[in-house]
C-alpha cells in the first residue's frame, strides 16, 4: 500500500451535476497529481498541485478544477458533468524538489459514473 | 503529438516462465521512465523506474531495459507468478527537471495473463 487514500470509492452522478473527489497524500509528500483513467485506457494527466497552487495542467477543460490544502491533501472538482466524465479518477502523491523528480505513488482511485 | 505506446495489448505466459513487456516511446526529450502494475479495481502500483542516463536497472525479479537509440523500453519479469497477472503500463516524464508540471504520459497498457 502506498499510503495515498481517496474518497469516496464509488460515486454515481447525473449529467449536469457537480462532484468533489478527495485525496490524502502519502506522509512526507508535498505534491498531488490527478489523473483520469477511462475503461481500458492508461491514465491521463489532469493537473498537479504543489504548494497549494496548480503547477501544471493537461488537456482538460476549466470545469475540472482543484485545490490543495496546507496538509497537502487535495480535492478535484468537476462541474457540469458529462457522460464522458465517467472514469476512474486517480490521485498520485510525490515529493517534488529542485534537484530531481520523485516517483508518483497512486491511490486506489474513485470510480465515477455519470448517468 | 508524441506519446508513449505499447507493442502488445495482451501477453500470455506460463507460470514460472520469464515475461517481457515492451514499450515504445516517441519523445526523444523524455528523461525518466516508470513501469506501473495495475490490478483490477486498484490504482497503479510502482514497479521500477529508470533515467535516461542508464540502460538497465534491476529490482526484485524485475529488470527494466532502456534503448535510447530506438526509443524502446522493456520490462522483464523473472519466474512469473500468478500474482503477476495485471495490466502493465509504461509511463514517461518528458522533462524530468524536478518540476513534473506536465505529469506522466502513460501508454494504453499490456494485460499480462499467467497460465498455470
The enclosing H or E element of A21 equals: strand A19-24
The partner residue sitting opposite B99, judged by closest CB among A4, A43, A96, is A96
Residue B69 pLDDT more than 60? yes
CA distance B33 to A86: 28
Alpha carbon of A17: minimum distance to chain B alpha carbons (Å): 25
| A55/B100 touch (CB, cutoff 8 Å), yes or no | yes
Cβ–Cβ below 8 Å for A43 and B97: no
From the CB of residue A34, how many other CB atoms can be counted at a distance below 10 Å?
A: 26
**The pLDDT value given to residue A84:** 97
Q: What is the pLDDT of residues B84-110, one digit of tens each?
A: 999 999 999 875 444 456 688 898 799
B107 at interface of A, judged by CB pairs closer than 8 A: yes
Amino acid at each position: 500500500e502506498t499510503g495515498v487514500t481517496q474518497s469516496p470509492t464509488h460515486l454515481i452522478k447525473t449529467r449536469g451535476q457537480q462532484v468533489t473527489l478527495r485525496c490524502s497524500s502519502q506522509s512526507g509528500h508535498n505534491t498531488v497529481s490527478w489523473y483520469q483513467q477511462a475503461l481500458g485506457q492508461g491514465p491521463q494527466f489532469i493537473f498537479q498541485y504543489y504548494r497549494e497552487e496548480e503547477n501544471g495542467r493537461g488537456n482538460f477543460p476549466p470545469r475540472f478544477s482543484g485545490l490543495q490544502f496546507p496538509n497537502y491533501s487535495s480535492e478535484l472538482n468537476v462541474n457540469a458533468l458529462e457522460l464522458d466524465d465517467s472514469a476512474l479518477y486517480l490521485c498520485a502523491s510525490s515529493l517534488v524538489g529542485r534537484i530531481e523528480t520523485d516517483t508518483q505513488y497512486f491511490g486506489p482511485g474513485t470510480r465515477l459514473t455519470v448517468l | 503529438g508524441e506519446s508513449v505506446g505499447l507493442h502488445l495489448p495482451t501477453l500470455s505466459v506460463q507460470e514460472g516462465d520469464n515475461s517481457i513487456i515492451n514499450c515504445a516511446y516517441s519523445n526523444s526529450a523524455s528523461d525518466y521512465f516508470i513501469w506501473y502494475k495495475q490490478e483490477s479495481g486498484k490504482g497503479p502500483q510502482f514497479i521500477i523506474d529508470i533515467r535516461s542516463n542508464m540502460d538497465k536497472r534491476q529490482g526484485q525479479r524485475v529488470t527494466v531495459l532502456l534503448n535510447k537509440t530506438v526509443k524502446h523500453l522493456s520490462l522483464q519479469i523473472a519466474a512469473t507468478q500468478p500474482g503477476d497477472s495485471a495490466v502493465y503500463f509504461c509511463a514517461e516524464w518528458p522533462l524530468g527537471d524536478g518540476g513534473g508540471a506536465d505529469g506522466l504520459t502513460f501508454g494504453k497498457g499490456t494485460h499480462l495473463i499467467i497460465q498455470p
